[in-house]
Amino acid sequence: MIKKLLFLALLVVELLSSAKIYDKIKDKPESRAKDFYTLLYLEQAEDKKKAKELFYGVRKLKQTHINNLARIDEDDSLKEIRRCQKLSFQKLLKESLDCSLVGFSLAKASSLSNNDRLLLALKYEKADPKKADLLHTMSYGVKFNPKNVDTSLKIFNGSGWSYRNKKLDVKLSKSFLKAAETNWRINKAVENVVLSPNLKRFGDSLLGLNPEKLSSRGAFYYGILSLKKGFEKKAIRGFKAALKKEKKPRELDKLNFWLWKLTNNGKYREAVLSSTNINIYSLYTREQNRKKFFTIYTKAPSVKKAKKLSKDEITDPFFWGELLDELRSTKKEESEPLLYKLGGDDAEPFRSFVYNHISGYKRDYYINPWKSNLKGKSLDYQALVLSLARQESHFIPSALSRSYAIGAMQMMPFLIKHIGKKKKEDIWLPEFFNKDRILPYAFGHIDWLRANLESPLLIAYAYNGGLGFTRRNVIGKLFQGHKYDPFFSMELVPAGEPREYGKKVLSNYYVYRNVLKKPVTFDYLFKQIK
């Protein structure tokens, strides 16, 4: 009886919450926040008419939107889309043409036999000739020749790792390489080869490319590929080619850093030392050369007569989204009036973000708005939390990512729900736009990661990509004593987001240890990576 009453009570709360969501967002303009709240409504809603109204107003439709509407709606077409997307390619062979096209992907196609791919190509021939052509090419074997550069590279980049390693590890001709240098897909192909433990013949062939013809990113990975294979002169050529095309300050520091390491030429070292951008390369180079530490800004100044930001605004992702849109559409020299909306101590994260924009991102703020929340924690723990939060959200309580990671610590809804279940707490996701609600959950998750990992860099990889990802792809595979480690291994993490995230968090950690008056050396930090 008690369980039944509890279930009914929770049901009433959910129904009330869904009603509030509808009233809150029905007249809001398209935005990421509206998409997020629409998903929450679709998860709970009983009113099909309102659910469909919100669904058809979604700006960036995700599979979860479709799944949840299909669950409550009688529209068979949505249920059919959902069903077809879940089918394996073997099953799609037997389905209707429309269903088969909905479920198509190169990764799925790579799991079929050659005969099955030919059958599917016949099925697609009139409805989608481009997909049919890809399937034909895969069935008869990808021939890397100058006439099919785009198709072959599209298959190489889009197929699964297994197919790529088994079927596409071939020696490339000089004529193919020359034709491929002007195709944008070759840059991603070079990156894919660098991040693969196999593909030896394909990778050896790519060293025949002219890095000057590649994009800055492609030329950089040409350099890393050359280092991976032990050709330092080719690596230097790749990094120099990338340097000529690169404009972003952090990337320039990275390239100058690598050129300094490989050539020992002082001009590259001086280029990094003169950088005003705070990153792993500029920090390390300053430490190694015993240069003065950067000037660090730890407080975002308040503005006289600024309107105090309300608690509702601070925790409202709609407010943050609107402010972000306004900031992006305003020239930096005209952005100062935005600060008059951001009064009060709790608005400091918002102000620091605006000040950063006004400075042209030349003045980075390393604020600590959570002193009361972190009270009693060790200084190294505080530095870790602050370094993660700064990278995740710049401490914005109402931040919301494309994948709907929530709040200042950008925790995924499934993780929040998992922790809530263990705590035996009822979860209402919008509550986690309040820092006081999300921080205990984040601390618990960080405690768990620290119990399994020691290095802030590895913890950063795990916080972003998951502990499983870190164990499968990093621990025991990277940081194994290469001549240019740990910087070399940092470039081999096989997923772009955690790869860059780890470097940024580690530099944040180094700075925050200085801010908290407990400095640390890179030598110490690098010894922790194991």
Cα 176 to Cα 206: distance, rounded to the nearest angstrom: 10
What would the mean pLDDT of 490-512 be, rounded to a whole number?
Answer: 96
State the pLDDT at residue 386: 98
State the pLDDT at residue 224: 98
Confidence band, pLDDT 50/70/90 cuts, at residue 300: very high
Instruction: Return all residues near 238 (Cβ < 8 A) that are at least 6 apart.
Output: 211, 219, 220, 221, 222, 223, 224, 225, 226
Question: CB 307: neighbour CB atoms within 10 A?
Answer: 13
Confidence band, pLDDT 50/70/90 cuts, at residue 11: very low
At 431-452, the pLDDT tens digits run 999 999 999 999 999 999 999 9
List C-alpha distances in Å: 272 to 237, 288, 294.
Answer: 19, 12, 13
Cα 510 to Cα 489: distance, rounded to the nearest angstrom: 19
What's the predicted TM-score (pTM) here? Answer: 0.91
What would the mean pLDDT of 328-352 be, rounded to a whole number?
Answer: 94
**Whether the predicted pLDDT of 272 surpasses 70:** yes
**Whether the predicted pLDDT of 420 surpasses 70:** yes
What would the mean pLDDT of 4-24 be, rounded to a whole number?
Answer: 55
At 354-402, the pLDDT tens digits run 999 999 888 889 999 999 999 999 999 999 999 999 999 999 999 999 9
* Contact indicator for 151, 133 with CB cutoff of 8 Å: yes
Helix (H/G/I), strand (E/B), else coil: 436: helix
Confidence band, pLDDT 50/70/90 cuts, at residue 91: confident
Confidence band, pLDDT 50/70/90 cuts, at residue 75: low
List C-alpha distances in Å: 180 to 7, 133, 167, 177, 482.
Answer: 61, 19, 19, 5, 31
State the pLDDT at residue 14: 45
State the pLDDT at residue 241: 98
State the pLDDT at residue 44: 81
Cα 526 to Cα 457: distance, rounded to the nearest angstrom: 9
Phi, psi of 366 (to 5 degrees): -115, 75
* Contact indicator for 380, 406 with CB cutoff of 8 Å: no
What would the mean pLDDT of 21-38 be, rounded to a whole number?
Answer: 93
